[in-house]
Amino acid sequence: MAKEKGYTNLIHFLDDGISGVTMDRPGFVEMIQQLEQGRAAAVFVKDLSRLGRNYIEVGRLTEEFFPEHDIRLVAVSDNIDTAEGENELAPIRNLFNEWYARDISKKRRISNKIKGNAGEPMGQPPYGYIKDPNNPKRWIVDDEAAQVVRRIYSMTLEGYGTEQIAAQLEKDEILTPRAYWLKKGIKRPGKGKQQPATKWNSSTVTKILSLQEYCGDILNFKTYSKSYKNKKRLENDRENWVIFKDVHKPIIERSVFEQVQQKRGKIRKRRTNEGEHNMFSGLLVCADCGSNLHFHFNQGNPEIKYFNCSNYKGNRGSCTSTHYVRVDFLEQVVLGEIRRLTKFASLYEDEFLKAVIGHSQQAAETGRKLKEKELKALLTRDEELDGLFERIYEDNVSGKLSDDRFAKMSRRYEDEQKELAEKIKKLRSEIEKHSSQAMTTDMFISLVRKYTRARKLTPRMLNELVEKIEVYNAEKIDGVWEQRLRIHYNCVGEITIPKMLPLPIPDVTVNTRKGVFVNYAPAEIAG
């Protein structure tokens, strides 16, 4: 057509597979740049929709940009040639093109909602998984990448922070997720900054540590877009997510994932001037002012390692006491208390379960089951409404249902769905709270049993079991110095072991400094 109209020096621009809703298409942008530089006199398109499906933007091009730059526009199928005068139907065609895009987007949104609520994964599999070649709707484990994921979780439980993990992965020349996908020929969306293939950063590690998908779950509707014209994805409220558990093979055990979530944001390993960190760092708090305790070496004897209150007034703080406590003292006490707890669990199982779970657990479980039943009914009705809406929409397009009737019915369905959405959101929040409590309790019980035969305190054991330890200032009682500690365990808080049981308190005495011997005493029985 261009040659027929006398144009021979032709340049072709192509945007294959990119929606015409957006005007930020590489081929289109390049064409506009060429036109602005005066390097072309005419634009030929199959039809106006090839320029775009945005009524306002295409109208600006045809009504302002092309005339200002003296550009001839020819849309072959639409029988438009601006050299032959204005076409009054052009604005209407633009409007119909945008309506078509809106229509397609609406249908796609309905389809995605149905698929998402049915448990079909809506996004790309995360690092560690790939799509099943035989079934693209199913994820399978990518063993090579999964090993790295497991390593990241293991290092976290051992007390390493995200920056430390990133540095170690870089040191070991482990490919970043993006570099790994590129090497494997796996196409993933996103431009991202060009970085060395092994240059890990803490944000990547943090992202991996946050993905519940590694437990074998599918999480749909984590993001959304405000409009079909705006492709930017926004974070959705967690209450609006739809979660399907145990869909694919897990890379990370659920208990391990929960342990990591307990620790994320809480582990703050402080380094000394000597470059060492201690496993108790970030776990010790002052019982009087609530400040963290900081790790130190004895200047005269580096073998002596200790903590004291970071807010002590002698160090320009406001706390009146140092809350000095030796590391070797802590190691003996905490190991002794953990071993006492594991004996409690193995020898007196019923009493242990009562102490951990509490008497209200059964009632809470009954309430949770009732809420899950109610939620299932609401989700079923919501899905029915999607189907009904789709049917009346098709009937309206085909002429079987009038516009007026369609408007009334769709408004009624939409109002009902809004009401359902609020109820579903509230129920999911309540169920998640109940499930979290039950899950964390079960997880703690299994962890305690895991360490029944522990003979040495390790960073992983400490981080898995202990949330924090309150440290009291040592006191002289009846002529004997006593150091009180209060241990708070992950998921369950404090656990009181009945005094009548033959499970003696750890007998720990440490020569702390200057020949002063300090005995351990649990906070609940001291004083």
Token pair listed for 109: 């949104």
pTM of the predicted structure, to 2 decimals: 0.47
Q: What are phi and psi of 44, to 5 degrees?
A: -115, 130
CB 406 within 8 A of CB 393: yes
CB atoms < 10 A from the CB of 276, how many?
14
Burial category of 239 from C-beta neighbours within 10 Å (exposed 0-12, middle 13-18, buried 19 and up): middle
DSSP 213: G
Residues in Cβ contact with 271 at an 8 Å cutoff, skipping those fewer than 6 apart? 277
User: What residues does 516 pair with on adjacent strands?
Assistant: 513
CB atoms < 10 A from the CB of 3, how many?
9
Burial category of 420 from C-beta neighbours within 10 Å (exposed 0-12, middle 13-18, buried 19 and up): middle
Which pLDDT value is given to residue 269?
45
Which pLDDT value is given to residue 129?
94
Which pLDDT value is given to residue 272?
44
Nearest CA-CA partner of 204 in 232, 180, 234 = 180
CA distance 448 to 442: 10
Nearest CA-CA partner of 487 in 504, 510, 465 = 465
CB 204 within 8 A of CB 166: yes
Long-range contacts (CB closer than 8 Å, 24 or more residues apart) made by 349-352: 351/498, 351/501, 352/445
The stretches of 399-479 forming alpha helices (DSSP H) are 403-450, 459-465
DSSP 411: H
Q: Give the residue carrying structure tokens 């964390």.
A: 440
In order, the DSSP letters of 48-59 are GGGT-S-HHHHH
β-strand pairing of 218-220 with 242-244 = antiparallel
CA distance 178 to 188: 8
What are the average pLDDT values for consecutive 10-residue runs of the chain, which has 527 residues?
65 68 75 83 78 70 80 78 63 54 56 66 89 89 94 89 92 93 81 77 92 90 60 68 84 87 58 58 88 81 84 79 89 90 86 69 63 86 84 82 84 85 81 58 76 85 86 84 86 78 78 65 55
Q: SS in 3 state form for 101-119? A: HHHHHHHHHHHHHHHHHCC
The C-alpha angle with vertex 446 and arms to 445 and 451, in degrees rounded to 5, equals: 100
CA distance 126 to 142: 10
Buried b (16+ CB within 10 A) or exposed e, 73-97: bbbeebebbbeeeebeebeebbeeb
Residues in Cβ contact with 262 at an 8 Å cutoff, skipping those fewer than 6 apart? 440, 467, 490, 491
Q: SS in 3 state form for 355-369? A: HHHCCCHHHHHHHHH
In order, the DSSP letters of 366-407 are HHHHHHHHHHHHHHHHHHHHHHHHHHHHHHHHHTSS-HHHHH
